[in-house]
Amino acid sequence: MTLQQTGTAADSPVPAPSTSRRTQRTARRRAYKYLPTGAWWVVSVCVAVLFLYPLYILLSQSLKSRSEAAQTPPTLVPHSLSFDNFAQLGSNAGGLSLTHSLGNSLFVTLSTTIITVIVTTMAGYAFAKLPFRGSKLAFFVTLITFMVPFQAIITPIYLTLNNIGLQNNLFGVTLVLTTFNLPFGIFLMRNSFAAIPPSLEEAAMIDGAGVFGAMWRVMLPNAIPGIVSTALLTFFAAWNDFFASLILITDQSKYTLPVSLGILSAGQNNAVDWGLLEAGVAVTVIPCVVIYLVLQKYYNAGLLSGAVK
Amino acid sequence: MSSFTSTTAVKRRGRRLPLLVRRRSMLGMLYVAPAAVLLGFFFLWPLLRTVYMSFFDRPILGASTFVGLQNYVDAFTDSEFGHAVLFTLSYTVITTPVLLAVGLGLAALVKRRTRAAKVFQTVYFVPVVIGLASASYLWVFIWQPDIGPLTDLLARMGIGDAGTNLFASRTAAFLIVLAMVVWKTAGLQMLLLLSGLQSIPEEVVEAAKIDGAGRWQTFRYITLPLLRPTLALVLVFSMAGSLLAFDQFYIMTAGGPDNSTITAVFEIYRTGFVQFHLGYASALSILLMLVLGAVSAVQMLLLRNSDD
């Protein structure tokens, strides 16, 4: 209260004589700058170079020719651009085909994302708009599952999958990854449905749409940003998963990309094929970066809505 | 008689609740069902099973025998697990403040409302969407002896020798993992802290300045207290992530040199899936969960409610 009073009282005397609105605004903006503009640019660009350097190395190493990629000392810029490392991904060196692993990764990631989106949309809608006895408690329990890391219960998950014949099975991994993406997704979807004013649904129902019609034609379109956020966060989590696939899949032909790369990085005959490995890493990394750059808005919104609560 | 009263009770309740409300609540349960089945089967049931299994000596094949609390007693005298816990704790204690400082620095840097600041924000955030495993494979290459670009670069600048295997030294290996983790996750901390910083009303900061507060005082007495909820969240994120560290050490150091970089989750993995002591691994998992729960609870208490 006192702070606010000083704040409003201070508004006019700050930039001294001329108090046009624009100078006031720039003065306010200046109050936030930690560095003068020139220094800010220098620092920002230097930090950006540090952040981009590993990505540059990734691209340049994977785009070198096979012989240049194995050369020491390493070259900074590829002498000639070559896609040989990428072409090599499909070769069955040591019984390990990375294109096959890529297919496995795609299957797990896409099915996890689709199932998660459907299940969390339904549950989120129910928690926001279709209350039932104990629904508040059920939602609370869902949130608690956030607290338990799946690394801690991976042993019995392995045994449970074994019991139902889904251990060493890509669909088994899908179900596990889906389950551990549910809490955050349900939380996101409940919030996006809860943000839609009830009058909108009521209006639709007065116009003769049933509960289902209202959900499909009115609620769902309004929840699309939430759905995109949930889909994105799930996609990244599933695509980048290493631990669950490492433990739940035992057959090399069923490995996902991150696990297969592990075999590659362990090397054959004590020699690691760095060109091939980094090409595999590039295939894993590039989709994430591209998807993020395109759908950044939704991704950030999803993260932040989870954070702000 | 009793069945008669119960039917009237149902009738009365049925009359009180309009048909639509009842139908909606039925529908609600139906919609929650798939999530409930998945969470029950792949979360709740394994969780209960972990607790149950922790009281047994359970090899992966063959009969299990009840051993009571023996697994827990063993855990406290197991020097390998003890080392893993100590290493995980020191990793957490070192990583958390470094991440927080870098995240805060980046947030302060991209806080300007200009287009350039927005671009830099995206650049600093990009490594966050890369998987921890992919980032690890990349950084292992960068620091390889002879062929690693940064080992080579440092050698050219007269620091070290290009032929040294940095992963053979505990300290160097640790620092490389730390640098990788900072590169990969500082952007997330930046984004969260930035949203926290931007939610502080500008008038408040301005008022403090007019009242004669210096830069440091403004930060200490205005920004920091108002940022407390965000800080709590960021700290819980980074501490939980560090306490659960696995991928980066499994891939980058394989726990070496001399098993000196084996983390708690790594040790649980080795116990359960390399040595196949599933009961003992369950007991270790329960201990890990308790530590995590305690850490989050303490942090929430310290950082959330101390201004009441």
Residue B222 has pLDDT above 60, yes or no: yes
Of the partner residues A29, A52, A119, the one whose CB lies closest to the CB of residue B123: A52
Tell if the pTM clears 0.80, that is, is over it: yes
Query: Which of A19-28, A141-150, A288-297, B25-34 bottoms out in mean pLDDT, i.e. has the lowest?
Result: A19-28
pLDDT the model gives residue B305 = 54
Residues of B in contact with A33 (CB under 8 A): 112
pLDDT tens by residue, B16-34: 567 777 888 888 999 999 9
* Average pLDDT of every residue of chain A: 84
Beta-carbon neighbour count of residue A270 at 10 Å?
A: 6
Interchain CB distance below 8 Å, A258 and B146: no
Structural Rg of chain B based on CA atoms: 26
**Residue B12 vs residue A55, higher pLDDT:** A55
CB-based contact B167:B173 (threshold 8 Å):
yes
Dihedral angle at the C-alpha atoms of A61, A63, A66, A71, nearest 10 degrees? -30
Interface with A, mutate which of B52, B147, B209 (most A CBs under 10 A): B147
Q: Smallest CA–CA separation between A123 and chain B, in Å?
A: 4
| Cα separation, A241 vs A256, whole angstroms | 9
Report, at the CATH architecture level, how domain B78-304 is classified: Orthogonal Bundle (1.10)
Encoded tokens for B230: 């965000």
The residue type found at B228 is R
- For residue A249, the chain B residue with the least C-alpha distance is B273
Interchain CB distance below 8 Å, A7 and B140: no
Query: Which of A21-35, A267-281, B118-132, B165-179 bottoms out in mean pLDDT, i.e. has the lowest?
Result: A21-35
pLDDT the model gives residue A14 = 36
Encoded tokens for B145: 């002896």
According to DSSP H, which parts of chain B are helical? Answer: 2-16, 19-39, 45-53, 70-77, 79-109, 115-125, 132-142, 149-156, 170-198, 202-210, 215-218, 224-226, 228-243, 247-252, 264-269, 278-304
pLDDT the model gives residue A147 = 76
CB-based contact A32:B112 (threshold 8 Å):
yes
pLDDT tens by residue, B116-140: 999 999 999 999 999 999 999 999 9
Interchain CB distance below 8 Å, B202 and A261: no
pLDDT tens by residue, B38-85: 999 999 999 999 999 999 988 767 788 899 899 999 999 999 999 999
Q: How long, in residues, is chain A?
A: 309
Place of tokens 């639509």: B20
Of the partner residues A58, A132, A157, the one whose CB lies closest to the CB of residue B46: A157
pLDDT the model gives residue B10 = 45
pLDDT the model gives residue B17 = 63
- Span between the terminal Cα atoms of chain B, in Å: 56
Q: In A116-128, which positions are buried (b, 16+ CB within 10 angstroms) versus exposed (e)?
A: bbebbbbbbbbbb
| Cα separation, B291 vs B308, whole angstroms | 26
Mean pLDDT value of segment A270-295: 91
pLDDT the model gives residue A65 = 87
| Cα separation, B14 vs B22, whole angstroms | 8
Q: Smallest CA–CA separation between B3 and chain A, in Å?
A: 23
pLDDT tens by residue, A150-205: 888 988 999 899 999 999 999 999 999 999 999 999 999 999 999 888 888 788 87
Of the partner residues A43, A296, A307, the one whose CB lies closest to the CB of residue B109: A43
Domain coordinates of chain A in residue numbers? 2-88, 93-308
pLDDT the model gives residue A8 = 34
Of the partner residues A126, A148, A175, the one whose CB lies closest to the CB of residue B289: A148
Domain coordinates of chain B in residue numbers? 2-38, 78-304
Element (H, E) at A191: helix A170-194
Interchain CB distance below 8 Å, B25 and A131: yes
pLDDT the model gives residue B304 = 62
Residues of A in contact with B285 (CB under 8 A): 151-155
Of the partner residues B23, B195, B269, the one whose CB lies closest to the CB of residue A304: B195
Nearest CA among B154, B176, B174, B173 for reference residue B163: B154
Element (H, E) at B277: none
Residue B106 has pLDDT above 70, yes or no: yes
Residues of B in contact with A28 (CB under 8 A): 202, 206
Q: Which residues contact A99 (CB under 8 A, 6 or more apart)?
A: A89, A90
* Average pLDDT of every residue of chain B: 87
Interchain CB distance below 8 Å, B24 and A130: yes
Phi, psi angles (nearest 5°) of residue A208 = 105, 0
Residue A243 has pLDDT above 90, yes or no: yes
Interface with B, mutate which of A145, A155, A286, A291 (most B CBs under 10 A): A155
Interchain CB distance below 8 Å, B207 and A6: yes
| pLDDT grade for A34, boundaries at 50, 70 and 90 | low
pLDDT the model gives residue B281 = 93
CB-based contact A303:A230 (threshold 8 Å):
no
Decide if domain A93-308 falls under CATH 3.40.190.10. no
Of the partner residues B31, B122, B244, the one whose CB lies closest to the CB of residue A123: B31
Residues of A in contact with B29 (CB under 8 A): 126, 132
| pLDDT grade for B211, boundaries at 50, 70 and 90 | confident
Residues of B in contact with A150 (CB under 8 A): 43
Encoded tokens for B7: 């039917």
CB-based contact A126:B28 (threshold 8 Å):
yes
User: Coil, strand, or helix at residue B56?
Assistant: strand
pLDDT tens by residue, A78-116: 888 888 888 888 877 666 788 899 999 999 999 999 999
pLDDT tens by residue, A199-236: 887 888 787 777 777 777 888 888 999 999 999 999 99
Q: Smallest CA–CA separation between A276 and chain B, in Å?
A: 12
Mean pLDDT value of segment B269-281: 91
Interchain CB distance below 8 Å, A307 and B195: yes
Residues of B in contact with A128 (CB under 8 A): none
Of the partner residues A242, A243, A288, the one whose CB lies closest to the CB of residue B130: A288
Q: Which residues contact A178 (CB under 8 A, 6 or more apart)?
A: A112, A115, A116, A119, A234, B38
Phi-psi region at A290: left, alpha or beta (left = phi > 0; alpha = psi -120 to 50): alpha
